[in-house]
Amino acid sequence: MHEMSIALSIVEAVVAHAQKEGAVRISEIELLVGKLAGIEADSLKFCFSAAASGTLAGEARLVLEEPEGVGECGECGVRFPVNFYYAECPECRSLRITIVSGEEFLIQSITIDERGE
């Protein structure tokens, strides 16, 4: 399950950033995880709970935004929903498709509580 290593990396990154900011805890983490990123959202949430336990992110709420896959035809330029890397254009039937959305994986924001608040 590669989601555990991803969760550990997320926790490491957000905790390091929060510590630099003088945080006493992380209350929320927003992630952008595209449907084509190869990451199972439910597994990531489960693994995050275990990975964050005992850290500044131990009680953080994990919010995932999951953009759908979108492809663009290299022949006719039409954009259309895709759920796999190999797709056929619904207009001209070309296989020259570029994925333009859905592969994202990004920590969008973290919400921290600083010392003295």
CATH number of the domain that residue 12 is part of:
3.30.2320.50
Could you tell me if 100 and 70 are in contact, meaning their C-beta atoms sit under 8 angstroms apart?
A: yes
Mark whether 51 and 92 lie in a shared domain: no
Q: Which of 111 and 85 is assigned the larger pLDDT?
A: 111
Q: What are the tens digits of pLDDT across the range 12-39? A: 999 999 999 999 999 999 999 999 999 9
Mark whether 42 and 92 lie in a shared domain: no
Mark whether 51 and 85 lie in a shared domain: no
Q: Model pTM?
A: 0.83
Give the Cα-Cα-Cα angle 75, 105, 56 (nearest 5 degrees).
170
| Mutual angle of helices 2-20 and 41-52, in 10-degree steps | 50
Residue 41 belongs to domain spanning: 1-67+102-117
Mark whether 73 and 115 lie in a shared domain: no
